[in-house]
Structures are given as structure tokens and as C-alpha cells.
Amino acid sequence: MRAEILSIGTELLLGHITDTNAAYLAQQCAPLGVDVFYISQVGDNLDRLTETLRRARDRSELVIMTGGLGPTEDDLSREAISAVLGETPQVDPALETQLRAFFAGRGIRMPERNIKQAWVIPSVTPLPNPVGTAPGWWAERDGKIIVAMPGVPSEMTRMWEYEVAPRLASRAGATLYTRILRVAGLGESTVEERLGDLIHTPNPTLATYAKRDAVDVRITAKAATEEDARSLVEAMEARVRSALGTHIFGIDSDTPQSVALRLLIERGLTLGTMESCTGGLLASLITDTPGGSASYRGGIVSYATDVKAAEGVPQETLDTYGVISVETARALAQTVCNRLTTDVGVGITGVAGPDEQEGKPVGTVHIAVVSGERISDTSQRFSGGRQEIKWRAAITALNLLRLHLLRENEEHD
Amino acid sequence: MRAEILSIGTELLLGHITDTNAAYLAQQCAPLGVDVFYISQVGDNLDRLTETLRRARDRSELVIMTGGLGPTEDDLSREAISAVLGETPQVDPALETQLRAFFAGRGIRMPERNIKQAWVIPSVTPLPNPVGTAPGWWAERDGKIIVAMPGVPSEMTRMWEYEVAPRLASRAGATLYTRILRVAGLGESTVEERLGDLIHTPNPTLATYAKRDAVDVRITAKAATEEDARSLVEAMEARVRSALGTHIFGIDSDTPQSVALRLLIERGLTLGTMESCTGGLLASLITDTPGGSASYRGGIVSYATDVKAAEGVPQETLDTYGVISVETARALAQTVCNRLTTDVGVGITGVAGPDEQEGKPVGTVHIAVVSGERISDTSQRFSGGRQEIKWRAAITALNLLRLHLLRENEEHD
């Protein structure tokens, strides 16, 4: 199937935002057997949008639009599709009910201009959007399809995944099944090297993506039924797991923090953190995960050096080894266990920059995890700016915590 | 000048890379008085590229291309421009000499297929590329311009900055000057309401943008000289400031945390934080700013309720008012001043969700700032998910801290 992607919004033409939606959709199309021949960004202008959409529909079987489904006068995707198909929009009573319920649920009256989000035309099947107010449009006529989705990436990706991709897959006469394996502690090129020839198999396909908190290995299989596709994915998953071992920390929507917290909760252990260079980022990541309060008791951000001693880090350790040392990281982890009465403590010390400290270069980070007599630690040198170093240190600490808890399990087994 | 951006490369249509070049160029065009009406991504296919380029040149005075200038058969930008203009490429002796010198300088023989990088056509002025092998093309005829630059971002941005932007600026005969005023504590629609008719002035233009940490008011003026443009911006800035007052916390690259830290440093004050529902996010934001260690001594994340009491929050306060109360927020702020010996303390308590707590609904947040006898506090109800509530609470705390420090100044004056 020959396809074309249209991203709508004047903010794209002003460069205020980068069109990440188009890249996401382009990536998604290939495994569905959909060939993308053009991508365009058009502003919030009805003439130019209609002209571009008409040409796209003339030369492609499928046009995938994002943006322009909001409630304002500048949101013109519905108007352009109606113009191209020569159909007149009308309010759909079922959509109107849903829309008013959405606002009522938030305790606010629906602004009347929002009513256009309940429009349909005869060729349109609306696509549900449980995370926003704008339903999508699946407009099909004369063997050609126009799909319009919201521009907000979280709404768009959800609609793609649950509504659009399955419909397209069913036309392709095949089903796709995808699983993402999330990898910690290895760079993308090392992951590819370890995967070797698996990367080049035609079905399932394997692709790696460097994400901020992990390297993702995405396995996608195509088969006549979902069951068959899933079997293909699982056979490949076993091979990937044997290549990457415990570097794989989770699947799909798992995060380094959700996996570490799950291990703590399963083992009935409590956690505390004591951070210097990461300045509270580790605590904040852990508390991003709901349900963490069962395990995570709290943390100390000992930013100034004398605060470390005042909070219980032995002055002797600081004097003998320096603040930037693995010994201090261990002492921080031990101190927080004592101070907050936790089973497990994580300590982080290092140089986030921009200036070196104690003669240690920017990016030097020491991390320790302590539980009872057991200690795990790591010393690293991260590159990048201040926020990047904080981020990498916090993610590395979460991975060290996970491995520490896994090893504890092995020792107990 | 009406313009259009074309990004060339099949990797864009496969979603292997995101088109950051287009966003960069779009951003660069506005201040030059160049209006971008379309952006497109096209693959390495001569027919489709030529067709797209022809249409772009028909409807725009300026077409800015990136990519397709490499030495391979898939690099077709030169061929497409030549086809559209009906001119025949020939090797330019001066370019050939430079090209061979580039390879010789690296100790390698030039692959013969690279010779197409020395091509020109009669309408083309080549643009130097000291950081790569592909010169750009400035193709001008019949009052229309096609500019072709390499797709590698570092080569493209250099060529834009040194070769293309200066040529375009000299044609525009005008200079732009922009200033961003950053606004805290008001929603975008309230900001627009307060600005009233100022929003509709033609020069300078005013636009509002809801950013994650502020609402930005962007003032842009066009004039014959930079000095004139700046005067226009400053006159408008004064009017905006009188409409928004101390809600404006900074300009351009200021952040809520950098401004609060600057005030602390100016006054020689130290800071500590004690967080419950934000779980370390406030500490992490503060420590994102370099140079903060002069003022920020550290923080306590008292996530579990009994940790609050153990760290020094009076049990009586917790029992009488509950954990989710403005009294507890004040006690947290006071406790951290005592515990970490700081001049100023910030305390945050609330319900990040997903479940309510003490019968208080999700999103309830109490924040207090304490310094000596002075207390500022605020109680809010934020909407959104867990991470959104944490984020809004931390940003609101930074704004409360700023206003607290500003008022201190007034009292001392």
C-alpha cells in the first residue's frame, strides 16, 4: 500500500516543534507493508491544507494525517477532509455525549466551540480517543483511506497502536505482534554487535532504538494469526535473551524504576536514597512510579559537603577517601539505611560539573547499594553536560539496585 | 519572501531519522522575514524529487533543500535541480581542485564517483563547505532561488550560518529582534486576556506559548537596524510588564530555578528543601542549575509519614492537621531550616495520586517557604497524572520562593 504522511500545524512551519510524529509513523508503516513515499508539514491554512490533502489522496492509497483536530478555528483537518471528499460535517449524537461526559468528568462545562470535535461525515468512522477530547477520523471511500489523528504525541501513538495499526494490519491479510525488550548497561552498538545476524532476519524483524532510559530491542513478527505472530516473537525473544542475559531488565512499558520497585515489593524490602551529585533526581524517578510508597521510605540530598557529615557520614571516610570516592558512596548508602531505618540503601556521589572537584574530572560518579552486609558498587565516568550526567548516574543506580536485588535472590535460592 | 523546505532522503521516509534540519531551518527563516508555507520529506527517487521540487519552485520564491548532495547514485539533488531548470551539469575545474585537495589532505585517493560533487550548472553559485566534501548550490534564475545544502546537520548549519543566511538577510533589507518574557503563576489564556489588544499589534508582534515551566510571551520587532528593532521591542516590553507585573520572572533562557537561585545568591542566603509528594523533584530541578551549590545545601525527601516525624516534624502538627495540610508544609519548611542549618526552607506536602490520602483528593498540594519569622504559603489543587502534579507543585514552589525573596527585599528597602 502506497502511503503519505501529513503533519498539520503552523508551529511546525515556524520550527517551534520538531515533527517527531512523522518519524514515528514512518517507522510504524514499514512492518505493516505500507510504503511511505512522501511526508509533508502544512500550516493551519484551509486552502493549502486542502490542496495538499487532495494531491496526497490522488497519488496514494492511504493518507495519514496528524494534528488539526483541536477545537479552535485554526484546527482545520476535519474541514479539509470534508472539502476533499465533498461531504458535509454533522454532529454525531454519540460522540457529543462522550465529549460532554469528558468535560463533566473534570467538573467543567464544555466550551461550545468544542462541538466540532463531535463532527462526522458519511465516509467517516470515528476512532476512540480515551486520553483526549478529539476522536480520530477513518475516512474511507473509493478504495482510498484518509486517517486523521490528534497531533499530541501521547494521544496519537495510542490511537495508532489501538485503532489504526490493527485496521491496516487486517487489510494486509496479516497480523503483527510486537514486543520490546528493554536493555540496561550496554550501548546501542554493543547491543547490535551481540545480536549479530539476528538483526537481518526478515520475520520477525529486529530493530534497536536508543532511548533515554534504555536501549530498546523491538521484535516484530507478521503472521496469519496473532497467535502465530506471538510464537514467532517468543522464539526470537529467547534467542535475544540468551545474547543479552540480565542486561534485559524489562519489556514494553517497564522502566528502570518500575522494575526496581517491583523487585523490592516482591521481597518486602524498604528503600532509602542518599544523593550528592544527582541532587534528588534518583528520588524523583523512584517516586514517579505509583505504588512506590510501600517500599520507598525517603531520601536525603546532601548537596553541601558538611551536610553529609552532619547527616551521619563518618568524617573519617570523607577525609581519608574524599567526597568523590566509592568509599563515600558506600557510606552514603549505609548512612541512609541507618537514618531512615530501611533494608536497602543507595548512595551516589560524583562530579556533575561544570567544574572538577577534588581534582576528579567532570562526569566521575560512584554509586553503591547496601543491604545488611551485602554491598554492590560501581565507578563510572559519564560524558555530556550536567543534566545528562545526573540522568545517567540515576539510571545506572537503578540498574545497580536491580542487579543487587536479583543476586540476593540467587543467594537465597 | 515565500519559502518552502525540502528534506531529501529515503531514511526520513523509513523513520530511521527525525528531520531536525527542517525544524532548524524553519526557526531560522522567521527572523529573516522568510515565510515558510510548506515542508516536505522526499525519498531518493529522481521522478518524485523532481516533481516535488518543480511544484515548490512554482509556488514559492525560495526553496531550501537539504540532503542528496553525497557522491552516490542515490544522491539526486543536483540532478533534480538541473532537470527543473533545464540546464546540464558540468565539472567546475576550481571545485574539482578543491575536492581532490580535500581527499589528498586526508591521505586518500578520491573515488571517481565523487566527481559529481564538483558539478555546477550555469545558474549555480557554489557554496563553500569547509567541513565536508559537498559544496552547496545557490541556484538563482527568473527571480526564484533554490538553495541545496548537505543533509549532515553540522555541515548544513555551518553553511546556513556563513553562506545562506547572510545572502537572504541582505535581500530582506530588515532586521528582526526578539525577546521572550517568561511568566509564572498564570495560565496561557489568562495571560492573553491580560494582554488584550496588544496581541494584535502588527509590529512588534506578540505571541504566547505554553511551555512546561512557564508561559512565554515572545515579542518580535522588524526594523531597518537592530537598534531600531530593539527599541520597538523594549517599548512593548514595558507595556507587557505593566500588564503582567511580577508574574514575569525572567527573560529568554531564564528558568524558574535559575531565577530563584540567583536571588538567593544575590542575598547571600542558603536554602534547604523538604519534600513529600514531589519526592525529590524540587531538589533535582534546583541542582540542574550550575553554581547552585553556593546556596543550596540539600534536602530531605520524607516519603513515608513516620519519616517526617523521625526527621523532626512535630508529631502534634501531623496529628492535629494531618499530613496533607498547610500547617505540615510550614513545619516541613521549618524543619529543614533547623536540620540543615539554612536561612530559607521550602516544604511541600500533597497527594500525587493515583489514590486520595486522608480524604484529600488527588492533586491537593500545600507549599510553604520559611525564612526566620517570615512565612509564605499556598494551597493548590492540580489536575493531571502523577508526574504532572509533581511537576506543577515543584514549579509553583520555585515561584513561591521567588516571590518570598522579592518581598523580603521590599521589606528591607
Give tens-digit pLDDT for A52-93: 999 999 999 999 999 999 888 889 999 999 999 999 999 999
What residues does each domain of chain B span?
2-172, 175-251, 256-412
Q: Where are the beta strands (DSSP E) in A47-143?
A: 62-66, 90-91, 119-120, 124-127, 136-141
Residue B283: closest C-alpha in chain A: A280
Contacts with A275 from chain B: Cβ below 8 Å: 280
Q: Where are the beta strands (DSSP E) in A143-214?
A: 144-149, 175-183, 205-210
Q: Which residues pair with A33 in a beta bridge?
A: none
Q: What is the pLDDT of residue A380?
A: 95
- Mean pLDDT, residues B243-267 taken together: 96
Q: State how far residue A413 is from chain B, nearest Cα, in angstroms.
A: 31
pTM over 0.90: no
Which residues, in sequence order, are CB contacts of A223 under 8 Å at separation 6+? A174, A175, A177, A203, A229, A231, A232
Q: Say if the Cβ atoms of B38 and A48 lie within 8 Å.
A: yes
Window 26-65 of A, Cβ < 8 Å to B: 26-30, 36-43, 45, 48, 52
Find the range with the poorest average confidence among A35-39, A71-75, A162-166.
Answer: A71-75
Tens digits of per-residue pLDDT, B20-41? 999 999 988 877 889 999 999 9
Tens digits of per-residue pLDDT, B299-347? 999 999 899 999 999 999 999 999 999 999 999 999 999 999 999 999 9
- Report yes or no: B33 and B93 within 8 Å, Cβ to Cβ: no
HSE value, Cβ hemisphere, 13 Å, CA-based, for B67: 21
Which residues, in sequence order, are CB contacts of B249 under 8 Å at separation 6+? B182, B183, B184, B214, B256, B259, B399, B402
Contacts with B59 from chain A: Cβ below 8 Å: none
Tens digits of per-residue pLDDT, B127-158? 999 888 899 999 999 999 999 999 988 899 99
Q: Say if the Cβ atoms of B287 and A279 lie within 8 Å.
A: yes
**Angle formed by the axes of helices B386-412 and B256-267, nearest 10°:** 30
Tens digits of per-residue pLDDT, B53-102? 999 999 999 999 999 999 888 899 999 999 999 999 999 999 999 999 98
d(CA A124, CA A127): 9
pLDDT above 90 covers a percentage of chain A that reads 74
- Burial of B263-297, coded b for 16+ CB within 10 Å and e otherwise, reads bbbeeeebbbbbbbbbbbbbbbbbbbbeebbebbb
Tens digits of per-residue pLDDT, A275-326? 999 999 999 999 999 888 889 999 999 999 899 999 999 999 999 999 999 9
Q: State how far residue A52 is from chain B, nearest Cα, in angstroms.
A: 9
Q: Say if the Cβ atoms of B284 and A279 lie within 8 Å.
A: yes
Q: Say if the Cβ atoms of A307 and B14 lie within 8 Å.
A: no
Q: Sign of torsion, CA A276 A281 A286 A287?
A: positive
Q: Which residue among A19, A43, A303 sits closest to B37, beta carbon to beta carbon?
A: A43
H or E element that contains A378: strand A374-381
Contacts with B353 from chain A: Cβ below 8 Å: 290
pLDDT at residue B250 is higher than 80? yes
pLDDT at residue A410 is higher than 70? no
The CATH homologous superfamily of the domain defined by A256-412: CinA-like (3.90.950.20)
- Mean pLDDT, residues A363-377 taken together: 97
Tens digits of per-residue pLDDT, A226-279? 899 999 999 999 999 999 999 999 999 899 999 999 999 999 999 999 999 999
pLDDT at residue A328 is higher than 60? yes
Tens digits of per-residue pLDDT, A128-154? 998 888 999 999 999 999 999 999 998
Window 307-366 of A, Cβ < 8 Å to B: 307, 310, 340-341, 352-354
Q: State how far residue A25 is from chain B, nearest Cα, in angstroms.
A: 7
Q: What is the pLDDT of residue A150?
A: 95
Strand order of the sheet with strand B364-371? A374-381, A364-371, A344-350, A271-275, A296-302, B296-302, B271-275, B344-350, B364-371, B374-381
Q: What is the mean pLDDT of chain A?
A: 92
Contacts with A352 from chain B: Cβ below 8 Å: 287
CATH 3.40.980.10 is the classification of domain A2-171? yes
Q: Say if the Cβ atoms of B300 and A302 lie within 8 Å.
A: no
Q: What is the pLDDT of residue A233?
A: 96
Q: Say if the Cβ atoms of B18 and A15 lie within 8 Å.
A: no
Which residues, in sequence order, are CB contacts of A340 under 8 Å at separation 6+? A272, A297, A298, A299, A300, B304, B307, B310
Contacts with B28 from chain A: Cβ below 8 Å: 15
Contacts with A27 from chain B: Cβ below 8 Å: 14-16
Q: State how far residue B14 is from chain A, nearest Cα, in angstroms.
A: 5
Q: What is the pLDDT of residue B43?
A: 92
Classify strands B248-251 and B175-183 as parallel, antiparallel or unpaired.
antiparallel
Domain B2-172: give its CATH architecture: 3-Layer(aba) Sandwich (3.40)
Q: Say if the Cβ atoms of B287 and A293 lie within 8 Å.
A: no
Contacts with A292 from chain B: Cβ below 8 Å: 303
HSE value, Cβ hemisphere, 13 Å, CA-based, for A145: 17
Looking at residue B349, the DSSP 8-state letter turns out to be E
Q: What is the mean pLDDT of chain B?
A: 92
Q: State how far residue B90 is from chain A, nearest Cα, in angstroms.
A: 30
Give the DSSP per-residue string, B176-227: EEEEEEEE-SS-HHHHHHHHGGGGG-SSSEEEEEE-SS-EEEEEEEEESSHH
> Which long-range CB contacts under 8 A does A57-60 form with residues at least 24 apart?
A57/A84, A57/A144, A57/A146, A59/A2, A59/A4, A60/A2, A60/A3, A60/A4, A60/A144
Q: What is the pLDDT of residue A121?
A: 97
Contacts with B12 from chain A: Cβ below 8 Å: 23, 26, 39
pLDDT at residue B413 is higher than 50? no
d(CA A104, CA A102): 6
Q: What is the pLDDT of residue A411?
A: 58
Q: What is the pLDDT of residue A413?
A: 46
Residue B279: closest C-alpha in chain A: A284
The answer for A259, left when phi > 0, alpha when psi is -120 to 50, beta otherwise, is alpha
Give the model's confidence band at B292: pLDDT under 50 very low, under 70 low, under 90 confident, else very high.
Answer: confident
Q: What is the pLDDT of residue B411?
A: 58
- Report yes or no: A344 and A273 within 8 Å, Cβ to Cβ: no
- Mean pLDDT, residues A16-37 taken together: 89
Tell me, yes or no, if B253 comes closer than 8 A to chain A by beta carbon.
no
Secondary structure of residue B353 in the 3-state scheme: coil
Q: What is the pLDDT of residue A15?
A: 84
Give the model's confidence band at B410: pLDDT under 50 very low, under 70 low, under 90 confident, else very high.
Answer: low
CATH 3.40.50.720 is the classification of domain A175-251? no
More confident residue, A125 or B107: A125
Q: Say if the Cβ atoms of A279 and B288 lie within 8 Å.
A: yes
**Angle formed by the axes of helices B46-59 and B77-85, nearest 10°:** 50
More confident residue, A388 or B172: A388
